[in-house]
Amino acid sequence: MRSWLDRQLHLIDFTLGSLARRKARNLGLLAVYTLLVFVLASLSLFASALRSEATHVLAGSPEVVLQRLVAGRHDLIPPGYLESIGRVRGVQKKEARLWAYYRDPRSGSQLVFMARPDAEVAVGSVMLGTRLAAAAKLKVGDTLAFPDYRGQPYPLRVASLLTPDSELQSATLVLLAEADFRAFFAYPAGHYTDIALSVRNPLEVGNVASKLAAALPDSRPILRDEMLRTYEHIFDWREGILLTVLVGVILTFAIFAWEKAAGLSAEEKREIGILKAIGWETSDVIRMKVWEGLVVSLTAFASGFLAAWVHVFHFGAPLFAPVLKGWSVVYPEFALFPAVDGLQVATLFFFTVFPYTAAVLVPIWRAAITDPDTVMR
């Protein structure tokens, strides 16, 4: 075992010397190789972190959201609808909610208005996310006036700002009292946007949704798990768009790597011939070149993955954030927590390290089994 290990160490030492003798060629290959790993790893890490963040945010959402449909479209919850649900077994809490989308004509951003009880937000006041307040140059105590649904300015005083920790949810959120919400949107009294239900047993969520759909044929229960799957599909779709755009870069690298790995220069062939002439075995030559491929590919993978980690978790992935986060006027500023998908990392490792390492075997084997005199000639 000791002699085998010493043999491998000597092969690695010789391999490093061989790489140093062709410094310019190998540094060019390493730079391109590292860039490819950096791009793919950044995309993978950023998408995984966003999925994890979405899962964390939705973890506190209600298990079931009940909407009313009219002619296949989302409609308001009429008076008495909440009571008509009755007591569904397994439902722990029912809450009628008021919220609406609002396009700010000044900034063009899509805002979310949500009514809170007057005890939380006083009438005539409003709570904003820090990002939205910064974009509008507002601070606590200032007065803002959004045009309401009648086209008239509706003045509201900024009572407080939502904490930065919740900015992924609150970046475009506007919290106001129920009375202000109904006056602003000319919302009919007794009507609501939807109903949030909390289920005591997570295993009974599907049964509760089925009971609601059967009891209220004009309703549409939306499960929290369905919302999670929707976010995953959105991120997968956007990640696929970027991969499609980058497929040309990947193919270019594949051709470049294959040409560099599979094509032996005259100097390399002469080196192999000399090694064979001084007593190296064919297996030793192949091992030496396999080590060469592993040194290049592993160095590129480690460097590219480390650079991707810094790019995503320290700088917020500025290269991919506009596409994967979505297009918006007001972008939420939030720190991504490392969430690494082991399967994605293993897949990235397999498709970036093994192809290059394997590409060196055939030309090296052909040169290694050729007569040393023929090779050197």
First vs last C-alpha separation in the chain: 38
| CA distance to 23, 81, 85, 221, per residue, from 191 (Å) | 73, 9, 15, 18
Residue 329, pLDDT score: 44
Three-state secondary-structure class, residue 52: helix
- pLDDT for position 242: 64
Name 82's Cβ contacts closer than 8 Å, sequence gap at least 6: 94, 96, 192, 195
Answer yes or no: is pLDDT of 66 > 70.
yes
Tell me: do 23 and 136 sit in the same domain: no
Which helix (H) or strand (E) segment is 368 a member of? helix 361-369
Q: Is 377 exposed, middle or buried (0-12, 13-18, 19+ CB in 10 A)?
A: exposed
**Residue pair 225/202 in contact by the 8 Å Cβ criterion:** no
Give the residue, 350 or 3, on which the prediction is more confident. Answer: 350
Number of domains present in the structure of the chain: 2
pLDDT, residue 330, reads 46
Chain Cα centroid distance, residue 36: 18
Q: Kindly tell me the burial class for residue 67, based on how many C-beta atoms sit within 10 Å of its own C-beta (0-12, 13-18, 19 or more).
A: middle
Q: Which of 156, 189, 223 is the last residue of a domain?
A: 223
Residues above pLDDT 70, as percent of the chain = 67
The H-or-E segment that residue 50 falls in is: helix 23-58
| Most confident residue range from 107-121, 144-158, 222-236 | 144-158
* Phi, psi (rounded to 5 degrees) for 101: -85, 145
89 and 187 in a common domain: yes
Q: What is the layout of strands, in order, in the sheet containing 143-147?
A: 99-103, 110-116, 173-177, 125-129, 153-162, 143-147
Q: Are residues 99 and 205 in the same domain?
A: yes
Three-state DSSP state, 77: strand
* 308: Cβ contacts below 8 Å, ≥ 6 apart: 37, 38, 39, 41, 42, 44, 45
- Measuring CA to CA, how many Å separate 223 from each of 59, 213, 305? 12, 12, 36
**Which CA distances in Å does 258 have to 2, 19, 109, 190, 375?**
35, 17, 48, 69, 22
pLDDT of residue 55: 74
Residues 295 and 245 in one domain: yes
73 shares its domain with 214:
yes
Type of residue found at 8: Q
Per-residue burial over 254-272, b if 16 or more Cβ lie within 10 Å, else e, is: eeebeebbeebeeebbbbb
Q: Please report, for the domain that includes residue 73, its CATH number.
A: 2.40.40.20
Q: What pLDDT is stored for residue 303 in this prediction?
A: 92
Q: How many CA atoms lie within 13 A of 339 on its CB side?
A: 14
**pLDDT band for position 294 (cuts 50, 70, 90):** confident
Q: Are 274 and 367 in contact (CB under 8 A)?
A: no
Are residues 13 and 95 both part of a single domain?
Answer: no
Which residues contact residue 24 at a Cβ distance below 8 angstroms, ignoring those fewer than 6 apart? none
**176 contacts 184 by C-beta, under 8 angstroms:** yes
The reply to whether 152 and 245 lie within a common domain is: no
137 and 167 together in one domain = yes
pLDDT for residue 349 is more than 80 = yes
Please give the Cα distance from 334 to 326 (Å, whole number): 14
- Residue 206 belongs to domain spanning: 64-223
Distance CA(79)–CA(192), nearest Å, equals 8
- Whole-number Å distance between alpha carbons of 233 and 238: 9
264 shares its domain with 302? yes
Average pLDDT, the chain: 76
> Looking at 223, 251, 266, which one is the last position of a domain?
223
Please indicate, yes or no, whether residues 106 and 161 belong to a single structural domain of this protein.
yes
Q: Are residues 191 and 251 in the same domain?
A: no
For the chain, what percent of residues have pLDDT higher than 90? 9
Q: What digits encode the pLDDT tens for the residues 155-204?
A: 999 998 887 555 666 778 899 999 999 999 999 888 999 988 888 777 87
Is the domain of 216 the same as that of 258? no
Domain end marker among 223, 246, 268: 223
Q: Is the pLDDT of residue 59 over 80?
A: no
